[in-house]
């Protein structure tokens, strides 16, 4: 799989209810301009193996990949907003967003912790 053929891509935690809601909102705003993939899907695992170093824990945050850089967490917010506002639609992408959640991520405490995690974690990885 050539990464350049599928970018831009957003990878999110598909085992978290809140993250799945976030992914659905992003999908609504991007209107098919962005491929959205879950961390734990077969495609997500394969994609992450091409981007991240071995034994790297990429599930701590969501990622936005533009082909040159993988932006994680807080660093991904501006590129994601830019994609929503500027990216031209090459082809419409149908995102099948699914959630596997045990219910513990639907509490107010979980909302606070996920928001704190989003704002406190930030990373950029240059791609080859």
DSSP state, 37?
Answer: E
Is residue 74 very low, low, confident or very high in pLDDT (cuts 50, 70, 90)? Answer: very high
Task: Residue 77: give the domain boundaries.
Answer: 3-126
Checking if the pLDDT of 75 tops 90, the result is yes
User: How many Å apart are CA 21 and CA 27, to the nearest integer?
Assistant: 10
Question: Pairing relation of β-strands 9-12 and 69-73?
Answer: unpaired
Full-model pTM: 0.83
How many domains, the chain? 1
Q: Are 3 and 13 in contact (CB under 8 A)?
A: no
Query: Kindly report the CA angle at 5 between 8 and 57, in degrees rounded to 5?
Result: 55
**The predicted structure's pLDDT at residue 64:** 95
Checking if the pLDDT of 65 tops 90, the result is yes
């Amino acid at each position: 799989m050539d990464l350049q053929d599928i970018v831009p891509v957003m990878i999110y935690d598909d085992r978290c209810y809140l993250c799945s809601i976030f992914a659905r909102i992003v999908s609504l705003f991007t209107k098919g301009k962005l491929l959205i993939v879950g961390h734990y899907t077969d495609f997500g695992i394969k994609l992450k193996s091409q981007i991240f170093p071995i034994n790297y824990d990429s599930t701590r945050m969501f990622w936005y990949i533009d082909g040159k850089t993988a932006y994680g967490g807080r660093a991904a917010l501006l590129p994601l907003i830019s994609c929503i506002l500027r990216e031209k639609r090459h082809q419409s992408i149908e995102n099948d967003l699914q959630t596997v959640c045990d219910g513990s991520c639907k509490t107010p405490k979980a909302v606070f912790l996920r928001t704190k995690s989003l704002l406190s974690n930030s990373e950029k990885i240059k791609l080859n």
